[in-house]
Structure 1
Amino acid sequence: MKSSDPKQWKFIDQQGTFEQADAESGSYLYLPLVNQAGMISSVTPTFNGDAKADQNSFLLLPTSVEDLHNSRSARNFWLLLDGKAWSATGSSAQQTAKRFGAEAEKANLKAGLLWQSVTRTHASGLQAEVTSFVPMTADHVELMRVILTNTGSKAIEVVPTAAVPIFGRSADNLRDHRHVTSLLHRTSCVKHGVVVQPTLSFDERGHTHNALRYAVLGAEGDGSAPTGFFPSVEDFIGEGGTLDWPQAVVNNLPAAQGIGKGPDGYESMGGLRFKTLTLQPGTSITYVIVLYILSAGQDVDALITQYGTAAKVEKHLAESRAFWKQKTDLLVFNTGDEEFDGWLKWVGIQPILRRWMGNSFLPYHDYGRGGRGWRDLWQDALALLLTEPEDVAGLLHDSFAGVRMDGSNATIIGSKPGEFKADRNNIPRVWMDHGAWPLLTVQQYIDLSGDLNFLLRNQTYFADHLSHRTQKTNLNRKAGSDTQLKTKTGKVVQGSLLEHMLVQHLAVFYNVGDHNMIRLEGADWNDALDMAAEKGESVAFSALYAANLSALAKLCLALQSRGVTEIELANELVNLLNAPVSEYESIEAKHQRLEDYFTSVEGELSGLKVLVKCSDLAWDLQGKADWLTAHIRRQEWVTNKEGQAWFNGYYDNLGNRVDGDHPNGVRMTLTGQVFTLMSGIANEDQVEKIVNAADRYLYEEAVGGYKLNSYFGEGVEHLGRAFGFAFGHKENGAMFSHMAVMFGNALYKRGKVEEGWKVLNGMYRQSQDFNKSHMYPGLPEYFNSRGRGMYPYLTGSASWFLLTMLTEVYGVKGRLGDLVLAPRFAASQDDHCSVTFRFAGKVIELHYQRSQNSSSSRIKKLEVNGIIRDVSAAEVFFKRKEVEAWPDKTKIAVYLQD
């Protein structure tokens, strides 16, 4: 969006770099700064935010989103100018007090992937440019560069002081023994800064020796060291002072000490006093501040050698920019809208951020203790398939080690690939949707790679003290013991990845509620539907499981076509395959069959294997899919008093249908429509009616699109905590990006191109309009009732947005390893657009050309590496062998009919 509004950010290059003329015009704003070594920082325009390596090693004070404007504990760089204190980061009491008046200081922000630079100018003409980023090294380090320039006509005398409070301990200690844990601090002042090493990692369940050190180091641009230090908060702020008006700066106190042992047992401060200087007009000086978490054996002096000069910082900044450019260049859209293209760069890095961070450690994401969820493993891999597919097969294979033989899965995921841990928190819970996601990702992998043999690779099963989908505890197995399933003879059980997915789908097929829909259990994708474990049912995900059962059947037939006629399965699993179709109608019979199966896999397995014909397996799976599809069509279509019609999504813990007319108003769920559309359960007439109902009850332009549900009223505790939230927030009626983009994906799949583009474009327009979303580029988890983007950066919606753009809008699909082009452009989209993507080891630059405002996506001609082909089809198909024979860099031009 081109705008002269100083609040509105705008892109200034093709790499996602943006500028905001009024950097302090918003609240709740921050950027993530991260590297692969595990350094995770967040930074605001006034350089608040925290820095940490994990839950137990916070260098800076742990920061939740409200702390961004409440806390004074920010990174700061103070300057005493003509006897008056001024903050180069804007974090002084005086600058804050002037913010809404005529004397408000202007701050210009430039930011990119992933760095931030803010420039402000003092009335004297002293300009300060402060840049923060995390270098792409193997270190837990954050760099801060301050460039001071005299833009005035007179010389300026400057007394510089860097000021970074050092928290130096676990986030748990923010409210648990905050003062007591400061007594553990052992502080020393070295040549270039302040180093803190707590004696212990404090935990009343058992204290442990601490080997980590937390450092704030500094140097002038040429490497010159500070002249002195303020190593404690108490000495720096003075009696009655604050971090945003510290006595040490305001009264120009001499440095508290030089090199040597500092005060032990106090809150630590990275206060670095640099030599006083006179800056002549037109001249500049640079300062480097290094924030570091040191492991045992790391040398402080070596850090200054590596990072402590202006030249070294510039080198690391260039390398960081190059790293993120390489990542975003793996999938490049040129839509004809430069703002949209730049925005997609930020969406493109979000799956990477979630792989590195999980759903924790950013100011909005102030829950959890790190790590990723089961769903995240599979959804984030969708984006990885589009950008770095060579890394995916191993990741997916490893992840199947978390599947239990009862169809549930481990919920505590370790930091290593394929590492899963037993639930030691005594909160056993099953999300009923978890079994569905692996197949979606595996199907995408096979379609892009043609690697059907992936299904035949073996993997272990997860086992702990929980069984019967966590409803029972195996008293013979201790929590925390070996987590690999074994046979009665002690042999580790292995099964094909196809078998793992069969276990996930067959178990839930029989695990039904009173309406013969799959039980909701602890929740489904919507974590906040968590109060209906007894009688709750998820029609929405029953629809997805129905589609998946059919997809599994097709994969079995594909294996058969490649010469694999039989599949080896665990003997215990066969009992879930040989039920007569007539039994599907009987809830009691389903429960008995499932209970028999659970009992058979409760402890160790027999180790016996059975060969099942692929054709027989496909027949059984398709039969289950057909029955469940017909059952949903027959039972769950709702027509209300207004004549609107759609699919019911859920049953609550009283056994009541959720969607439809209600005394509090019409109740409609978006999730119930997404998967009935995507699975093909909705017929063509129903597709139209679903869209009409969604427009009537769920769509709100002011929040960017389709809300997760309509207003249900108060007191819906028999479904989940979601309805304790205020309406329009989070899982209760917010415009929730993940399900919204999946709705768009489903609409494309059903041929509703204009409607699908309305979803995607609406989310983009809401996000990029700063006066509505109040956020930087990217997709948030949701937009609240005021349209503000909430929980940015870490959302599974990013993977689905990229997937939908590539596979549905641009029509780039795989089909068992072959390449298919089947574009679907809306009339309002640009008539010339392109995408650069990877397929079969080739870098393919694909251009589309069509008549302006044409809604036709039928292909009339294409040109591959200069060779023209005349066609007339909705899609074109390239065998994998043909693609593999193309040059490493290939150009395709596709011309669409008028």
Structure 2
Amino acid sequence: AFGVTSEITYFVPREEPCEIWKVRIKNDTRRKRRFSLYGFVEWLIGEYFLELRIHNITTLYNKVWWDGETKAILGKKTASWEQGNIRPFEGLVFFGSNFKMDGYECLKTVFTGRYNDISNPDGLKNEALKNSNCEGEDAVGVLQHNFGLDGLEEKEFVFILGQTPKETEVQNESKSASLTGQAESKEKVKEILNKYQDVIQVRKELDAVRRDWQEKTSLIKVETPDKDFNTLVNTWLPYQLYINAYWSRNPSYYHGGGPGKGYRCSVQDTESILSLNPEFSKKRIREFASLIRPDGTNAVGWSLDGPWDQSPMKGQVVWFTYLVNAYVKETGDTNILKEKTPYLKDKWCEKGEDEGTIIEHIYKQLDYSWNDRGEHDLPRIGRGDWNDGLDMAGVKGEGESVMIAQTLVRALDQARELAELINDNKKAEELKDRVKGLTEIINVKGWDGEWYLRGFKDSGEPFGSNKNKEGKIFLNTQAWAILSGIVPKERLKKILESVDKHLDSEHGLALFSPAYSDYDPELGRIAMFAKGTKENAAIFCHANLFKIAADLALGRGQRAWLSLKKIMPNKQKDYELYKTEPYVFSEYLIGPEHPHLFGEGAFSWLTGTAGWAYMMATEWMLGAGRDFEGLKIDPCLPPSWKKCKIRRPFRGATYEILIENPKGMEQGVKEIWVDEKKIEGNLIKPHRDGKNHKVKVVMGKGDR
């Protein structure tokens, strides 16, 4: 437009704490022209939620100025005031470039004008900026560069936005130490800016970042008849997994973010990334273990400032067992079970052992949940389980959760497997007995006649029951009845038919039905949301993946595929309706009981769906699953998929697996060939030789 081509690329380098903007400007005409280029940033400089609440106060702490020594705009607050804790501001924020500055601005009101905003700022109406520094006002950073371009000439420019890393800062309340810390921070700013003055260096770093992400996301590759499935699994799911694993639930267009990571979500993210990065998962296992108290409870999460408070939600304890079990199956590393890590000692649990082995941490968590049971002998729900919206169901300490009971059965059984691995036979027998006992309790106290209850309120009244006017049937307790293995064969058909009848729709499975229309103080905020949104009967993608996993466990490949397609971000039929990104999973789609938004996506990125979808796609559908003894091959496919491929690293070797399905089976392995040699069964023993191995799988009735 206007005879000018402009392009901007944003990226974060691999090491430095900054964001680089690479700008390309081309004069598309044949005459020489003059331009002014402006880089703009509006500074927050502080704690986000505090700035929202008392911006009129925190603004008075702002100090932003042009610094001739670093040739950049620098900024800080006079002090940090986070959660009432006043301390010296750590480091400096900076905004620099690789060109000679012809003007700058640090005051927002001067740049925009008193009655304008950034869409039409006064600063662009004048030839030069005012060169104002900021002290105690709303702060911006604006850099101006005037330049000329001959006809058809183009140039590239670089802006660098960042904050000095914590390790360079001196955290001391004395003035001299504060000045020393600022001097060290300025040196770090100069170091970063100097590195990226050369556009060639910027291009090299951008190429390196691209290669880095390519390596991270391409370790596992799939090839199926469905191109959308391939694109999602090969590119976008691994990327979403890494973002979730690194940042938990912070990056979002829907939430303001937060200072740390939640325990339950992060544990699931870590399990799902195991096949891509087992070393990262091993490090995280140690972190999670250190958040478990001697009494078996755990902190709800953690940040750079340390562990968070006690979790009032009782369903958090099971996920760590799943992670450790999966880690040992992926790596074969049983030594981690005997590795000692500290317990969390805080005001919630001051007594008990200082440290224990990883498996002892697991035992304590499961013992806590096993012993914390209510009137119906089911685990107490507290302020919620997987479903955060059930925050009043057990506020008096009596409410119970059938879902926690089901997930606990699975965790107890997986802990039994780990106990047997290290010859802890007495504990293994105890865990086996607990699995049997709790299974019987669920099938007596948790069965409603056509499906499983969701739980009991503090009053003892069931919810998720046919007796209820609203919230009659919940998806999760039907899916987890299958995943935990507690459902008797004669009930299986009933719960599957009930799910299809009451919960399925063109956009996926509702979390429950019917939606709540009025607030129920014995359930909580689940009944406060509009019908079909959030926890009030939305199509929760995470819960849909639980059901998809259950279908795959039953060998229902076609049913699993049909359900997955409905919630896949790149298979939506109407993107004007869906609205969210077509490349990452949303937390939910608005459910069928909403009056006019049924099918709209919401809360993208912030979901454990990505992790479960990746595990289902690679390990359950394409069947390259981990097991203690090796790689277990057990595909479960839609019958129309006659040929598929998956390449997957496993314990020091890479397996290129070709799946042939000539008869259109959903499940069943007839024969497996490894490096042109037929093997017995469907378990490939680890090679650990650093080589690629060709595997051919023929589906049909046979060894499985």
**Alignment check: 8 A CA contact 1:449 1:817 kept:** no
Output the CA distance in 1 between the equivalents of 2:679 and 2:622. Answer: 20
Output the CA distance in 2 between the equivalents of 1:508 and 1:896. Answer: 41
SS at match of 1:544: helix
Deviation at residue 526 of structure 1 after TM alignment: 0.9
SS at match of 1:701: coil
User: Are 1:863 and 2:673 an aligned pair?
Assistant: yes
**Alignment check: 8 A CA contact 1:330 1:388 kept:** no
CA distance 1:673–1:160, change in 2 (3 Å): same
Provide the aligned C-alpha RMSD in A: 2.6
Which of 213, 238, 256 is the matching residue for 2:130? 256
**Alignment check: 8 A CA contact 1:532 1:720 kept:** yes
Counterpart in the other structure of 1:789:
601
Deviation at residue 146 of structure 1 after TM alignment: 2.1
More displaced 10-residue stretch of structure 1: 443-452 or 715-724: 443-452
Residue by residue over 1:727-782, the C-alpha shift from the partner in whole angstroms, topping out at 9 and shown as x without a partner, is 21111111112221121112211222222222222221566553343222111222
Residue by residue over 1:462-499, the C-alpha shift from the partner in whole angstroms, topping out at 9 and shown as x without a partner, is 232225xxxxxxxxx6xxxxxxx55xxxxx54333333
Output the CA distance in 1 between the equivalents of 2:661 and 2:378. Answer: 45
Deviation at residue 155 of structure 1 after TM alignment: 5.1
The amino acid that maps onto 1:752 is: R
Counterpart in the other structure of 2:158:
288
Which of 817, 827, 830 is the matching residue for 2:639? 827
Deviation at residue 664 of structure 1 after TM alignment: 3.2
**Alignment check: 8 A CA contact 2:476 2:511 kept:** no
Deviation at residue 724 of structure 1 after TM alignment: 0.7
Q: How does 1:326-365 map to 2 (within 5 A)?
A: 326-344=215-233, 345-365=235-255
Output the CA distance in 2 between the equivalents of 1:342 and 1:358. Answer: 23
User: Are 1:688 and 2:574 an aligned pair?
Assistant: no
User: Are 1:637 and 2:447 an aligned pair?
Assistant: yes
Output the CA distance in 2 between the equivalents of 1:170 and 1:666. Answer: 39
Residue by residue over 1:839-896, the C-alpha shift from the partner in whole angstroms, topping out at 9 and shown as x without a partner, is 11112221212227x125433443322x24287xxx512233xx23x55222212233
The amino acid that maps onto 1:342 is: T
Residue by residue over 1:309-365, the C-alpha shift from the partner in whole angstroms, topping out at 9 and shown as x without a partner, is 432322221111111111101222222333322222211122321232222243323
Which segments of 5 or more consecutive residues in structure 2 lack a partner in the other structure? 166-181, 592-596
**Alignment check: 8 A CA contact 2:647 2:656 kept:** yes
Which of 696, 705, 714 is the matching residue for 2:518? 714
Output the CA distance in 2 between the equivalents of 1:554 and 1:264. Answer: 62
CA distance 1:890–1:291, change in 2 (3 Å): same
Counterpart in the other structure of 1:444:
326
The amino acid that maps onto 2:288 is: S
- Figure out how many residues of one structure are paired with residues of the other and give that number: 669
Counterpart in the other structure of 2:117:
242
Output the CA distance in 2 between the equivalents of 1:494 and 1:179. Answer: 47
Counterpart in the other structure of 2:586:
780
User: Are 1:876 and 2:686 an aligned pair?
Assistant: no
**Alignment check: 8 A CA contact 1:158 1:276 kept:** yes
Counterpart in the other structure of 1:595:
none
More displaced 10-residue stretch of structure 1: 228-237 or 536-545: 228-237
Output the CA distance in 1 between the equivalents of 2:72 and 2:280. Answer: 41
Counterpart in the other structure of 1:551:
414
Output the CA distance in 1 between the equivalents of 2:418 and 2:116. Answer: 69
Identity of aligned residues (%): 21
Counterpart in the other structure of 2:696:
893
Output the CA distance in 2 between the equivalents of 1:429 and 1:264. Answer: 41
SS at match of 1:385: coil
CA distance 1:434–1:180, change in 2 (3 Å): closer
Output the CA distance in 1 between the equivalents of 2:283 and 2:22. Answer: 40
Which of 336, 341, 354 is the matching residue for 1:459? 341
Residue by residue over 1:482-525, the C-alpha shift from the partner in whole angstroms, topping out at 9 and shown as x without a partner, is xxx55xxxxx5433333322222223223222222111112111
Deviation at residue 668 of structure 1 after TM alignment: 0.9
Higher helix share: 2
**Alignment check: 8 A CA contact 1:361 1:370 kept:** no
Counterpart in the other structure of 2:94:
215
Residue by residue over 1:179-231, the C-alpha shift from the partner in whole angstroms, topping out at 9 and shown as x without a partner, is 34333333322464422233222469453222422222223xxxx31211122
Output the CA distance in 2 between the equivalents of 1:434 and 1:512. Answer: 15
Which segments of 5 or more consecutive residues in structure 1 lack a partner in the other structure? 1-121, 468-476, 478-484, 487-491, 568-613, 640-644
The amino acid that maps onto 1:521 is: G
Deviation at residue 302 of structure 1 after TM alignment: 3.0
Q: How does 1:818-857 map to 2 (within 5 A)?
A: 818-829=630-641, 831-851=642-662, 854-857=664-667
Counterpart in the other structure of 1:232:
107
TM-score normalised according to structure 2 size: 0.88
The amino acid that maps onto 2:123 is: A
**Alignment check: 8 A CA contact 1:376 1:796 kept:** yes
Output the CA distance in 2 between the equivalents of 1:388 and 1:673. Answer: 32
**Alignment check: 8 A CA contact 1:667 1:712 kept:** no
**Alignment check: 8 A CA contact 1:195 1:215 kept:** yes
User: Are 1:198 and 2:45 an aligned pair?
Assistant: no
**Alignment check: 8 A CA contact 1:355 1:372 kept:** no
CA distance 1:495–1:208, change in 2 (3 Å): closer
Q: How does 1:136-175 map to 2 (within 5 A)?
A: 136-137=14-15, 139-152=16-29, 156-175=33-52
**Alignment check: 8 A CA contact 1:531 1:717 kept:** yes
Counterpart in the other structure of 1:52:
none
**Alignment check: 8 A CA contact 1:212 1:294 kept:** yes
Counterpart in the other structure of 1:620:
430
SS at match of 1:323: helix
CA distance 1:735–1:287, change in 2 (3 Å): same
User: Are 1:737 and 2:548 an aligned pair?
Assistant: no
CA distance 1:815–1:184, change in 2 (3 Å): closer
Counterpart in the other structure of 1:270:
141
Output the CA distance in 2 between the equivalents of 1:237 and 1:445. Answer: 54
TM-score normalised according to structure 1 size: 0.70
**Alignment check: 8 A CA contact 1:451 1:816 kept:** no
The amino acid that maps onto 1:803 is: M
**Alignment check: 8 A CA contact 2:454 2:474 kept:** yes
Counterpart in the other structure of 1:674:
479
Output the CA distance in 2 between the equivalents of 1:151 and 1:754. Answer: 54
The amino acid that maps onto 1:764 is: M
Deviation at residue 694 of structure 1 after TM alignment: 1.1
User: Are 1:751 and 2:555 an aligned pair?
Assistant: yes
Output the CA distance in 1 between the equivalents of 2:409 and 2:322. Answer: 13
**Alignment check: 8 A CA contact 2:299 2:308 kept:** yes
SS at match of 1:760: helix
**Structure 1 outlier segments of 4+, above 6 Å:** none
CA distance 1:414–1:171, change in 2 (3 Å): closer
CA distance 1:276–1:887, change in 2 (3 Å): closer
**Alignment check: 8 A CA contact 2:551 2:560 kept:** yes
**Alignment check: 8 A CA contact 1:194 1:269 kept:** no
SS at match of 1:699: coil
**Alignment check: 8 A CA contact 2:454 2:465 kept:** no
The amino acid that maps onto 1:657 is: P
Output the CA distance in 2 between the equivalents of 1:437 and 1:788. Answer: 30
Deviation at residue 718 of structure 1 after TM alignment: 0.8
SS at match of 1:408: coil
CA distance 1:658–1:849, change in 2 (3 Å): same
SS at match of 1:402: coil
SS at match of 1:149: strand
Residue by residue over 1:523-578, the C-alpha shift from the partner in whole angstroms, topping out at 9 and shown as x without a partner, is 1111121102233110112022123323333443443xxxx3xx5xxxxxxxxxxx
More displaced 10-residue stretch of structure 1: 230-239 or 766-775: 766-775
Residue by residue over 1:399-420, the C-alpha shift from the partner in whole angstroms, topping out at 9 and shown as x without a partner, is 22222232211224244xxx95
Which of 194, 199, 206 is the matching residue for 1:310? 199
CA distance 1:376–1:870, change in 2 (3 Å): closer
Counterpart in the other structure of 1:107:
none
**Alignment check: 8 A CA contact 1:375 1:434 kept:** yes
User: Are 1:517 and 2:378 an aligned pair?
Assistant: yes
Deviation at residue 278 of structure 1 after TM alignment: 4.5
Output the CA distance in 2 between the equivalents of 1:794 and 1:180. Answer: 31
